[in-house]
Amino acid sequence: MTKGKPGVATDSTTELTQLGRSILVQLRIANRFSAAALKVKMEQKDIVKLLASTGASSQEIADVLDTTSATINNALLRLRKKATNVSSTADSEPSGADEAATAT
């Protein structure tokens, strides 16, 4: 390892930086292939739901799906509203036992 002046990149630091960039490029390519495979099998809203459940940020999901984070935020908002509506509808509907008791 070469010793350099403070603040000056050494050869090994430069190599690590280049290696890191190469790995990032490879990961981005792998993400695009994975996203393309998912797009064939799933709707975008389902992909957004899946990636969001893994903890990915809106920007990360947007990068994978080649769209904007605003689009992803909108999709997430619609998914949350739909989930809220489904759960509140389920809470307000009588259960099978309630219906049986009412019918007699």
Q: State the Cα–Cα distance between residues 16 and 25, nearest whole angstrom.
A: 14
Per-residue pLDDT tens over the stretch 55-92: 999 999 998 888 999 999 999 999 999 888 887 777 66
What per-residue confidence (pLDDT) applies to 91?
67
The number of distinct structural domains making up the chain is 1
Residue 97 has pLDDT above 60, yes or no: no
24 domain-assigned:
yes
98 domain-assigned:
no
Q: State the Cα–Cα distance between residues 7 and 4, nearest whole angstrom.
A: 8
- The domain in which residue 24 lies consists of 17-89
Positive or negative: CA dihedral 68, 71, 31, 21: positive
44 domain-assigned:
yes
Q: At what angle do helices 44-53 and 11-41 cross, to 10 degrees?
A: 130
34 domain-assigned:
yes
Per-residue pLDDT tens over the stretch 4-54: 556 655 788 888 899 989 998 898 888 788 888 888 889 989 999 998 998
5 domain-assigned:
no
- Nearest alpha carbon to residue 35 among 23, 24, 50: 50
pLDDT band at 3 (very low <50, low <70, confident <90, very high): low
Quickly count: other Cβ atoms within 10 Å of residue 102's Cβ.
8
What per-residue confidence (pLDDT) applies to 36?
82
21 domain-assigned:
yes
37 domain-assigned:
yes
Q: Which residue do the tokens 């769209």 mark? A: 67
Question: Would you call 72 exposed, middle or buried from its count of C-beta atoms within 10 A (0-12, 13-18, 19+)?
Answer: buried
2 domain-assigned:
no
